[in-house]
Structure 1
């Protein structure tokens, strides 16, 4: 893709910029960036950092489209961001069921991954919370995509099926850690409450 090769000339900023545009798929940019790491042109950790930042900026544009434009505008212009009405409907249902947490968990689900920003905007979710959840999800996703591209080297274009294969266990581990943390906080808070009453 010529535009990505052009952005390569801007180094890490170019990678961040490429991922800031939702019409350029991360599935294409990140494995290719991993290949550039393989070639010795880039540092893995800086690519992941740039990719994560860009991976937050991109969804914020869709969040703003939902928040300030409303559903009619999303359905009208969503196609320019590779979003279909079917994806918007699926993301809406997911948001209605799970609330603001979809900004995090939705990133790991193929059908709603791109469109999940829209219902967050429509619901006027806090942009700080939205950005935080998105960043926490994009970090492992970016790291995995770049790593797969690095390992595949010249065959970086085969990254997508491998990514989908490894994403489920990664998502499971992350969700498990979140659940453990929430349980720990609940137990800790109940102990504090008990000690106060004691």
Structure 2
């Protein structure tokens, strides 16, 4: 299966940076496979590092936008019917729903760092009809550092780019913990200010 995906990704290489964006639009193609390979292409001198990261980050927005559109125009019933084609099960949907209800629009950014939420979170954003530009900007801001990490590691590892996946996850874990901590502090502050306003009124 991995070889089929690699052949699929290699096909888009002939389209240069646009090919990276298109490949990442397909949610069934793991970014964890595409981006280290892109880093290897940078290592080979076939691509520029900065343009590759930018293309990967834009592609990282286009993919979630397809799920956002599915949620916005199809609703939950359509998602449950076709979500399996994006490797999204009802369990992930329920988790993403709860996450969105609890934390609001900011999940378009924070959710990208949370395992079990990062892919499915686009759907409740769409169902809630979150502003598409806000969704895209939040998603891009989250995808930029993640993309840079995978591409740079792919470039550093060169021919051993396949080893990047496990290493990148170990880097992302502390980042995820920090993001969750910031999110909790923000929620606690929001609850405290709301409580303060109620007391004053």
C-alpha contact 2:39 2:152 (8 A) present in aligned 1? yes
Whether 1:52 aligns to 2:53 is: no
- Aligned residue number for residue 195 of structure 1: none
Aligned match for 2:74, one of 63, 69, 77: 69
Paired residue for 1:145? 150
Residue 79 of structure 1: CA displacement?
1.1
1:9-48 alignment to 2 at 5 Å? Answer: 9-48=14-53
The gaps in structure 1 that reach 5 residues or longer are 184-198
- Counting only pairs closer than 5 Å after superposition, residues 1-198 of structure 1 correspond to structure 2 as 1-171=6-176
CA distance in 2, matches of 1:4, 1:158: 18
Q: CA deviation at 1:169?
A: 3.5
CA distance in 2, matches of 1:22, 1:131: 16
What SS does structure 1 have at the residue aligned with 2:83?
helix
- Give the TM-score normalised by the residue count of structure 1: 0.85
Give 1:173 deviation, angstroms. 6.2
Equivalences, count: 182
Q: Post-superposition shift, 1:168? A: 3.0
Instruction: After TM superposition, give the deviation of residue 170 of structure 1 in Å.
Output: 3.8
Structure 2 residues not aligned, in runs of 5+: 1-5, 187-201
Distance 2:183 2:53 in 1: 22
Structure 2 CA distance for partners of 1:169 and 1:82, relative to 1, 3 Å: same
TM-score normalized with structure 2 length: 0.84
8 Å CA contact 2:113–2:179 kept in 1: the answer is: no
Say if 1:110 and 1:177 are closer, same or farther in 2 by CA, change over 3 A. Answer: closer
Alignment partner of 2:118: what SS? coil
SS in 2 for 1:131: helix
Return closer, same or farther for 1:113/1:178 CA change in 2, 3 Å cut-off. closer
What is the RMSD computed on CA atoms of the aligned residues? 2.1
